[in-house]
Every structure is written in structure tokens, then in C-alpha cells.
Amino acid sequence: MYARRRHMYFAMMGTCIGLFVLAWGVVRLWSVPVAVGMCVVAMVIPPLAAIVANRRGPEDRWWDDPSGDPKSDEWWDELDGKKRHQ
């Protein structure tokens, strides 16, 4: 799942860079307003790419979820300052 999110992130960021380069390297020769529009679209892509890359999948373990290993959970609880009631 992590690899899929990473590939999607790099594809979105590559599209962003491609839009900027294409807009000011080629498209501006024919139409500056279209080049500006392409840059506006490219400006929206990085925040969306960050959201896609950091989204938690259904099978991803969250930072405070118990792992199921009692020794490991006890160790992490000790580091977090949580006391287990036994």
C-alpha cells in the first residue's frame, strides 16, 4: 500500500513539474493566459499530492494502535508514559 501511495505522489509531482515546464517553455509562445492557467492547475497539485501520500490505508497501523504483541505494547506504553493496569 505504501508503494502505491508513493508512486501516486511522484506521478502527481511529476505532472506538476511538467505543467510548469510546458507552460513557460512552450505554451507561453502561443498564449500567456493558457500558460498562467496551467500554472494555476499545477499550483493545486502539491497539496493534493501530500494528502494522497499521507493518507492512512485501512490496513495501515496507526501510531497508537496496539500491535498485538504484549511485550512490544508494554514497552511502547512505558515509553509513552502510560501505565498498564494489571
Per-residue pLDDT of the chain (86 residues; tens, 9 = 90+): 678 888 999 999 999 999 999 999 999 999 999 999 999 999 999 999 999 888 877 666 666 666 778 888 788 777 777 766 55
For 41, residues 6+ apart whose C-beta sits below 8 A from its C-beta are 19
pTM of the model: 0.65
Note the pLDDT of residue 10. Answer: 95
With contact defined as beta carbons under 8 Å apart, do 46 and 13 qualify?
Answer: yes
Note the pLDDT of residue 84. Answer: 60
With contact defined as beta carbons under 8 Å apart, do 52 and 9 qualify?
Answer: yes
Note the pLDDT of residue 61. Answer: 62
Report the chain's C-alpha Rg in angstroms. 22
